């Protein structure tokens, strides 16, 4: 399952996508996030509990501000670079 976190405003749309099938819950991205926006949560996938990385609830609606510092780096952000499984992607589309 790919979960999209992000925002759309007049300037464009920014999304950070985490693929919970590819994520192994190692937590390296959590350690690397300068804003402590990521965490490990329990998600039920095919009736099994799996630990996966996710944007924490308190940051979910504030991505615009939380991720603003890393945003220009796109797919070289600390979280994307930390993931050895390639489970995290960032995208920006100017409107």
Which residues sit at the interface with other proteins, rule CB under 8 A? 1-8, 13, 15, 43-44, 46-47, 60-61, 63-64
Complex with other proteins: residue 46 or 94, whichever CB lies closer: 46
CB of 92 to other proteins, least distance (A): 13
In which residue are the tokens 């759309």 written? 8
Complex with other proteins: residue 56 or 81, whichever CB lies closer: 56
Complex with other proteins: residue 2 or 84, whichever CB lies closer: 2
Q: How many helices (H) and strands (E) does the chain have?
A: 4, 5
Give the CA distances from residue 18 to residues 10, 11, 42, 57, 59, in Å, rounded to whole numbers and listed in that order: 24, 23, 14, 14, 15
């Amino acid at each position: 399952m790919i979960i999209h976190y992000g925002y759309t405003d007049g300037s464009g749309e920014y999304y950070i996508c985490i693929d919970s099938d590819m994520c192994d819950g190692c937590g390296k991205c959590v350690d690397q996030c300068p804003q402590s926006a990521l965490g490990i949560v329990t998600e039920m996938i095919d009736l099994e509990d799996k630990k996966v990385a996710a944007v924490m609830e308190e940051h979910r609606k504030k991505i615009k501000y939380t991720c603003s510092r890393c945003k220009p780096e796109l797919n070289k952000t600390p979280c994307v670079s930390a993931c050895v499984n390639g489970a995290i992607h960032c995208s920006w589309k100017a409107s």
